[in-house]
Amino acid sequence: MGEEYSPTVVVRAYDPNKDRERVEAVERTCEVGPSDKLSLLTDMLGDPICRVRHSPAFLMLVAEIGKEIVGMIRGCIKTVTCGKKLSRNRKQTDTANHVPVYTKVAYILGLRVSPNQRRMGIGLKLVQKMEAWFRENGVEYSYMATENDNLASVKLFTDKCGYSKFRTPSILVNPVFAHRAKVSSNVTIIHLKPSDAKTLYRRRFATTEFFPRDIDSILNNKLSLGTFLAVPRGSYTPDTWPGAERFLSDPPESWAVISVWNSKEVFTLQVRGASRVKKTLAQTTRVVDRALPWLRLPSVPDLFRPFGFHFLYGLGGEGPEAVKMVKALCGFAHNLAMESGCGVVATEVAPCEPLRFGIPHWKMLSCEEDLWCIKRLAEDYSDGAVGDWTKSPPGISIFVDPREI
């Protein structure tokens, strides 16, 4: 008997001029997400690399056998908070007398291998090639996110690539209904300027895990629809807003903040695997709502066709009524998404995030336990105050970068 044939796999950088159509063909053959969950359908900008193009440094690789593209992977690099230490000058910080400790991290996303080319080590080669680029750029840690029940992905990264399970945030998804959500009249919502938003985030949330050091780049990005602050009625109005510095020097007892990212302009989503019964029930709610609009029924939008969404990030707040403020902000965000023609509003929070109780969501569309895995790439740590970040306990909150969604 002859030796078993093993095709040569070439991993190289993605070339948008000649690879785009073939990469999109592979994307369409790969199911993303479990049944009845949100799954990536197509890239609205027509360029598969656009999901990471807004990051400070990014790369997309493809795996090729002959002239056939059989896999791809995306990666981006940034600097984020990995811990905190006591401030030597406590007057210059508002984060509980601590200052952030930053580290250079890389994020892996969009790993795809053609179904008929799996179990050939292609995924491993793509990850290893991407990690080599990370190391060349001085990255200390690499991490990725996947569904907790995606056993093939988890096994690849934990068993073969040396990653360890790190964080389990929750992805909360809420449909955008045909009627405007009610926003409490006891809450005032103020649209912050990017400069005020940057000041607020840096002064109050810079020590939150994964907080990006280039937060100003995110807030000024064309996909950022704005940062919104909720305060008790009578404390401030848009006309009496004094600016972030004065607000932080004497804030109201309770307040909350959230930012909105227009993911609709990057790619669309679609719910796959739903039964005919569920599709019929969803359509019935829309028919009844159109016939009886005064009832304001929560009709289910058509999520079985491609739709866009808004992503909420930078969630934070303080005070005994902070959850109430978050609920008002989510109602405001729902109305903003409705005006933009979105199908859902989504966010991602730490499992112990106390403000998550103010975030409306549907359990059947959400993921209660997303899985983040991490790996240490550098031999030396950037700061001894943190040590090995991969072994650190989770905090109450986490900052999810909208550029990586």
* 365: nearest Cα among 336, 345, 349, 351: 345
pLDDT confidence bin for 127, thresholds 50/70/90: very high
* 188: nearest Cα among 241, 246, 247, 259: 241
Per-residue pLDDT, 88: 67
Whether 38 maps to a domain, the answer reads: yes
List b or e across 38-73, with b for residues whose CB sees 16 or more CB atoms inside 10 angstroms.
Answer: bbbbebeeeebbbbbebbeebbbbbbbbeeebbbbb
Element (H, E) at 40: strand 38-43
Residues 6+ apart with CB under 8 A from 11: 61, 62, 63, 64, 125, 126, 129
* 313: nearest Cα among 380, 270, 261, 235: 261
Whether 365 maps to a domain, the answer reads: no
Task: Point out which residues pair with 187 in neighbouring strands.
Answer: 232
Mean pLDDT for the stretch of residues 269-297: 73
Same domain assignment for residues 243 and 354? yes
Residue 252 clears pLDDT 50, i.e. is over it: yes
Whether 5 maps to a domain, the answer reads: no
| Parallel/antiparallel/unpaired status of strands 10-13 and 57-65 | antiparallel
Whether 2 maps to a domain, the answer reads: no
* 252: nearest Cα among 332, 330, 187: 187
Which residue would you say has higher pLDDT here, 195 or 148? Answer: 195
Same domain assignment for residues 394 and 320? no
Whether 96 maps to a domain, the answer reads: yes
Residue 20, both tokens: 């785009």
| Parallel/antiparallel/unpaired status of strands 255-261 and 224-232 | antiparallel
Which residue would you say has higher pLDDT here, 364 or 237? Answer: 237
Other C-beta atoms closer than 10 Å to the C-beta of 15 total 11
Residue 99 clears pLDDT 70, i.e. is over it: yes
Same domain assignment for residues 377 and 279? no
Could you give the percent of the chain with pLDDT greater than 90? 62
Per-residue pLDDT, 51: 66
Mean pLDDT for the stretch of residues 181-186: 94
Residue 40 clears pLDDT 50, i.e. is over it: no
Give me the domain span that covers residue 158.
10-168+370-404
Instruction: Please spell the DSSP secondary structure of 262-322, one letter per residue.
Output: -GGGTEEEEE-S--HHHHHHHHHHHHHHHH-GGG---PPP-TTS-B-EEEEEEEEEESTTH
Q: In the 8-state DSSP scheme, what is residue 72?
A: E
Same domain assignment for residues 164 and 188? no
User: Measured between alpha carbons, how far apart are the two ends of the chain, in Å?
Assistant: 49
Overall number of domains in the chain: 2
Same domain assignment for residues 229 and 290? yes
Per-residue pLDDT, 295: 66
Whether 4 maps to a domain, the answer reads: no
Mean pLDDT for the stretch of residues 43-69: 78
Whether 342 maps to a domain, the answer reads: yes
Per-residue pLDDT, 32: 55
Residues 6+ apart with CB under 8 A from 105: 77, 78, 79, 80, 82, 139, 140, 141, 142, 143
Dump pLDDT digits (tens) for 185-243.
999 999 999 999 999 999 999 999 999 999 999 999 999 999 999 999 999 999 999 99
Dump pLDDT digits (tens) for 66-93.
889 999 999 999 999 999 888 766 555 5
Same domain assignment for residues 106 and 235? no
User: For the chain, what's the residue count?
Assistant: 405
Beta strands in 159-221, from DSSP E residues, in sequence order: 164-167, 170-175, 187-192
Same domain assignment for residues 162 and 254? no
Same domain assignment for residues 278 and 202? yes
Mean pLDDT for the stretch of residues 171-186: 92
Instruction: Please spell the DSSP secondary structure of 340-375, one letter per residue.
Output: TT-SEEEEEE-TT-GGGGG----TTT-BS-EEEEEE
Task: Point out which residues pair with 72 in neighbouring strands.
Answer: 62, 112
Same domain assignment for residues 200 and 150? no
Per-residue pLDDT, 70: 93
CATH number at residue 118: 3.40.630.30
Whether 364 maps to a domain, the answer reads: no
| Least confident interval from 107-111, 170-174, 253-257, 363-367 | 363-367
Same domain assignment for residues 161 and 184? no
CATH number at residue 220: 3.40.630
Per-residue pLDDT, 31: 60
Same domain assignment for residues 142 and 232? no
Per-residue pLDDT, 44: 43
Same domain assignment for residues 232 and 94? no
